[in-house]
Structure 1
Amino acid sequence: MAGSVADSDAVVKLDDGHLNNSLGSPVQADVYFPRLIVPFCGHIKGGMRPGKKVLVMGIVDLNPESFAISLTCGDSEDPPADVAIELKAVFTDRQLLRNSCISGEKGEEQSAIPYFPFIPDQPFRVEILCEHPRFRVFVDGHQLFDFYHRIQTLSAIDTIKINGDLQITKLG
């Protein structure tokens, strides 16, 4: 039952930086995500920095067209927030496109990958590791590509957006 009061109370932010799940047990979290509903927008506590990793686990829909995972500088729509990296999985072309968008200007799109890792109706695990010069992206434990930073102030990259033909099972 998406959007119900019970759902919105399932995760509560505590003052000591811990999260409580609906059973009341504390879990340490560096990233605060209230609900895992697509389209999704969540805050990355403290922004990105070298050594920090964002984890997205989910299940691809049965008949997917595409989905996208973006790390952005805030969640502003007007003017649109800068996009540090957008990963867009396109199933018709079996491509994983990467790009950025800074001050409304899209960068040069990258598409080369050794293989297309996503399978309809199957789970996946995407890890975006922030290193000093680049994001290093892993899918199901295999390094797929590097994406060199186009936004130099890494701490400004503080929002994750996910949309498209998938369900999110875990974020961290």
Structure 2
Amino acid sequence: MCPGFRTEPNPSARASHGGSAWKMAELSAIRQELAVPFCGGIRGGLRPGKKITIMGVVNADPDSFDISLTCGCGDVALDMCVRFEDREILRNACVSDSWGKEERSIPYFPFIAEQPFRVEIHCEHPRFRVFVDGHQLFDFYHRVTPVAAIDTIQISGSLTITKLN
């Protein structure tokens, strides 16, 4: 699906009861860590009303991390690049191999090294509305249509993914 990306649970993760990483991924009550970089399918694609939740922990001494929503390995509907040195979150889209205008404005920088976070990406009719730890951070208006074509999520960089819905 996505070259260079893993699509299975982190093989070094272990369930407390001695189960395999695969078994652990099936048990919602046990912490789940996914291998980074990660690439996985969005069942049925996106649609207004659908929400993606990413829970994780920022690594110690982080550089950056990326969350991308794509149409397979083609168009990029949302590329969210979190940069720690500049304390900024860059957003953009790539349609037919052409990157659009980058967006940077955020009211605050919510990510802290070695701290957990929860990112929610809400798909609405005209836009993605992104929340971090329950606070709205930014809106990103759709540049890829139809949104149902958005069927893949890719996550990479200085983070550990503990849960993905």
**TM category, shorter:** 0.7 to 0.9
The Cα RMSD (Å) is 2.1
Q: What fraction of aligned residue pairs are identical, expressed as a percent?
A: 59
Looking at structure 2, the residues matched to 95 and 48 of structure 1 have their Cα atoms a distance apart, in angstroms, of 26
The within-5 A match list for 1:1-172 is: 2-3=10-11, 6-8=20-22, 10-11=24-25, 20-21=26-27, 36-74=34-72, 76=73, 81-172=74-165
Residue by residue over 1:111-166, the C-alpha shift from the partner in whole angstroms, topping out at 9 and shown as x without a partner, is: 00001000000000000000000000000000011000001111110100000000
Query: What residue in structure 2 maps to residue 15 of structure 1?
Result: none
Once superposed, which parts of structure 1, at least 4 consecutive aligned residues long, lie more than 3 Å away? 1-4, 8-11, 20-23
Q: TM-score, normalised by structure 2?
A: 0.84
8 Å contact kept, 2:33–2:162 = no
**Which amino acid counterpart does residue 21 of structure 1 have in structure 2?**
L
Looking at structure 2, the residues matched to 22 and 135 of structure 1 have their Cα atoms a distance apart, in angstroms, of 27
Looking at structure 2, the residues matched to 73 and 9 of structure 1 have their Cα atoms a distance apart, in angstroms, of 29
Q: TM-score, normalised by structure 1?
A: 0.80
Choose between structure 1 and 2: higher strand proportion: 1
Secondary structure (helix, strand or coil) at the match of 1:155 reads helix
Unaligned stretches of 5+ residues in structure 1: 12-19, 24-33
Give the CA deviation at 1:102.
1.2
> Structure 1's 91 and 153: CA in aligned 2 closer, same or farther, altered over 3 A?
same
Secondary structure (helix, strand or coil) at the match of 2:138 reads strand
**Which amino acid counterpart does residue 135 of structure 1 have in structure 2?**
F
8 Å contact kept, 1:9–1:22 = no
> Structure 1's 94 and 106: CA in aligned 2 closer, same or farther, altered over 3 A?
same
Secondary structure (helix, strand or coil) at the match of 2:148 reads helix
Looking at structure 2, the residues matched to 129 and 2 of structure 1 have their Cα atoms a distance apart, in angstroms, of 26
Looking at structure 1, the residues matched to 79 and 155 of structure 2 have their Cα atoms a distance apart, in angstroms, of 10
Secondary structure (helix, strand or coil) at the match of 2:77 reads strand
